[in-house]
């Protein structure tokens, strides 16, 4: 099997990743910035548990790249270590150690030496929970009791006032859990946290950001064509998910003019699965009879632009907390509860069974249609567009 090339990101790209991660963007949204898969972004962020590493800086006492280039030129010119050190205003021992440390078969290369020095300078500060194993044991025992890191930190301040050896911030506990390289707390303790994420996310960035829970680039129902609003022509649909027990669901679609119903089997309610199922179903109808789709603000249609690109069908969304704006679908879902009572496991229904239920509902006369059936109205529209 052909091996995929490894993806590398520049430091500026990684900085942008962390900025968007702090703002609450999902892995998928961040990956779209680079036209990459979300797994490549996850690899960068997960390496430090979703916690951005502190920015590194060089010590003011360390040799600079310019100084190392001066050493390289001096060695090529045959200058002594003492004369090179004099020009750099450094101790001869400093220059000597630099040459010995970065000697490559009798040759000294400034760029390689500078990069090697930067890598060797990685000396992370020892975590307090590593230095004080008694404290780490106390923290572990409280985590196993489902105490939150903030509760543990506050309890330690109250029980051991003034004792710095038994004080630790809740952020240090989180970092020790999510950054396993610290070697302080075992990864298995993550399962005792209220939110068992694999990476750390600050609550105010994930729950209080402007775009949290919102569908990006959603087109409001107010922009829906007037012909859809007054039911003048067929081809404008409303949709939603009808949920059952065991996290099961089916997609329900109803045509506004004829009240014709279609049911679509979906195995999961993530946006990729739902949109893929709707695309497949939409291709069964001529375009004249499927011009628009109005949906609630459910996240299952977050990838609505993919649906539109694949089908040329525009998706419109109700205003937030106003599902009644797609009243035709809401009413139809109520009728469908006669066939799928609340608490029914919908995962056992095949597409053929769903089609049979839809057929029975479409063949029932409707008062709003002067007691014609939705099937009659819809098939008449199909014939006129045939």
Task: Check if the beta carbon of residue 227 is closer than 8 Å to that of residue 233.
Answer: yes
Residue 171 within a domain: yes
Do 30 and 136 have their domain in common?
no
Average pLDDT over residues 199-227: 69
| Domain co-membership, 274 together with 331 | yes
Q: What CATH number does residue 329 fall under? A: 3.30.420.10
- Which of the residue ranges 48-52, 102-106, 269-273, 275-279 would you say has the lowest mean pLDDT? 48-52
Distance separating alpha carbons of residues 110 and 322, to the nearest angstrom: 66
103 pLDDT higher than 90:
no
What's the rounded mean pLDDT across residues 68-82? Answer: 91
Domain stops at, among 120, 145, 167:
120
Q: Which of 19-28, 218-227, 283-292 has the lowest mean pLDDT?
A: 19-28
**Given this model, what pLDDT does residue 202 score?**
58
Give the pLDDT of residue 209.
45
pLDDT over 70, % of the chain: 88
Q: Are 262 and 309 members of one domain?
A: yes
Average pLDDT over residues 338-365: 93
Cβ-Cβ contacts under 8 Å for 310 (sequence gap 6 or more): 279
Query: Is 210 a domain residue?
Result: no
> Residue 81 maps to which CATH number?
1.10.10
**Which strands make up the sheet holding 261-266, listed edge to edge?**
261-266, 249-255, 236-243, 292-295, 314-317
Using one digit for the tens of pLDDT, what is the confidence trace for 117-139? 888 877 666 777 778 888 888 88
- Whether the model clears a pTM of 0.85, i.e. scores above it, the answer is no
Co-location of 176 and 248 in the same domain: no
For residue 124, the model assigns a pLDDT of 61
Domain presence at residue 88: yes
- Same-domain status, 246 and 344: yes
Q: Is 56 inside a domain boundary? A: no
Is 266 part of any domain? yes
Assess whether 229 and 324 both reside in one domain: yes
16-25, 293-302, 329-338, 349-358: the lowest-pLDDT one? 16-25
pLDDT digits (tens, 9 = 90+) for 149-184: 888 889 998 888 888 888 888 888 887 777 655 556
Both 250 and 368 in one domain: the answer is yes
The reply to whether 106 and 157 lie within a common domain is: no
- The verdict on 185 and 327 lying in the same domain is no
Given a cut of 60, whether residue 1 has pLDDT beyond it is no
Strands 292-295 and 314-317: parallel
Q: Is residue 294 part of a domain?
A: yes
pLDDT at 2 over 60: no
108-112: average pLDDT = 90
Per-residue pLDDT at 6: 66
Domain end among 204, 236, 261: 204
Residues 98 and 63: beta-carbon distance below 8 Å: yes
Strands 314-317 and 249-255, bridge-based pairing: unpaired
On whether both 76 and 40 belong to a single domain, the answer is: no
pLDDT at residue 211 greater than cutoff 90: no
The region of weakest confidence among 105-114, 191-200, 345-354 is 191-200
Number of Cβ atoms within 10 Å of the Cβ of 290: 22
For residue 265, the cross-strand partners are 250
Long-range CB contacts for residues 72-77, cutoff 8 Å, separation at least 24: 72/108, 72/109, 72/110, 75/99, 75/108
Is residue 344 one of the residues assigned to a domain?
Answer: yes
pLDDT at 200: 67
Same domain, 114 and 167: no
Contacts 24+ apart (CB under 8 A), 36-41: 36/7, 40/7, 40/9, 41/17
- Mean pLDDT lowest for which of 133-147, 207-221, 299-313? 207-221
**Domain range holding 132?**
128-204
The per-residue pLDDT of the chain, averaged, comes to: 85
- Which pLDDT value is given to residue 119? 82
How is residue 255 written in tokens?
């045509």
Query: What is the per-residue pLDDT across 13-64, written as a single tens digit (0 to 9) for each?
Result: 888 888 888 887 888 888 888 878 778 888 888 776 777 777 778 888 889 9
The residue from 75, 98, 120 where one domain ends is 120
pLDDT for 386 equals 61
Q: Is residue 19 part of a domain?
A: yes
Residue 104's DSSP bridge partners are: 107
Please count the structural domains in the chain. Answer: 4
If asked whether residues 267 and 299 sit together in one domain, one would say yes
């Amino acid at each position: 099997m052909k091996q995929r090339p490894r993806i590398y990101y520049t430091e500026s790209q990684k900085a942008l990743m962390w900025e968007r991660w702090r703002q609450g963007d999902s892995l998928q949204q961040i990956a779209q910035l680079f036209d990459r898969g979300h797994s490549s972004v996850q690899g960068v962020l997960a390496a430090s548990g979703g916690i951005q590493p502190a920015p590194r800086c060089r010590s003011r006492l360390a040799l600079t790249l310019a100084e190392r280039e001066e050493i390289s030129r001096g060695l090529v010119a045959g200058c002594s270590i003492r004369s090179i050190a004099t020009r750099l205003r450094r101790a001869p021992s400093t220059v000597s150690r630099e040459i010995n440390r970065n000697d490559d078969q009798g040759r000294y290369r400034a760029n390689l030496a500078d990069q090697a020095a930067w890598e060797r300078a990685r000396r992370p500060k020892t975590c307090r929970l590593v230095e004080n194993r008694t404290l780490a044991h106390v923290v572990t025992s409280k985590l196993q009791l489902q105490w939150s890191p903030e509760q543990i930190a506050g309890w330690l301040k109250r029980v051991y006032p003034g004792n710095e050896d038994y004080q630790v911030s809740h952020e240090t506990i989180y970092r020790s859990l999510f950054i396993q390289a610290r070697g302080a707390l075992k990864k298995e303790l993550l399962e005792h946290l209220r939110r068992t994420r694999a990476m750390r996310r600050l609550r105010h960035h994930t729950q209080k950001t402007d775009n949290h829970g919102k569908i990006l680039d959603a087109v409001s129902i107010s922009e829906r064509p007037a012909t859809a609003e007054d039911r003048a022509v067929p081809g404008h649909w409303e949709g939603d998910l009808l949920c059952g027990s065991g996290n099961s669901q089916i997609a329900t679609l109803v045509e506004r003019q004829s009240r014709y119903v279609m049911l679509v089997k979906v195995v999961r309610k993530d946006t990729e699965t739902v949109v893929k199922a709707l695309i497949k179903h939409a291709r069964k109808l001529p375009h004249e009879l499927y011009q628009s789709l109005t949906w609630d603000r459910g996240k299952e249609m977050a990838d609505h632009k993919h649906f539109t690109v694949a089908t040329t069908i525009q998706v419109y969304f109700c205003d937030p907390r106003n599902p009644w704006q797609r009243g035709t679908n809401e009413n139809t879902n109520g009728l469908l509860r006669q066939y799928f009572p609340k608490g029914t496991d919908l995962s056992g229904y095949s597409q053929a069974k769903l089609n049979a239920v839809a057929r029975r509902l479409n063949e029932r006369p409707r008062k709003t249609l002067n007691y014609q059936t939705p099937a009659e109205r819809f098939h008449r529209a199909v014939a006129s567009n045939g």
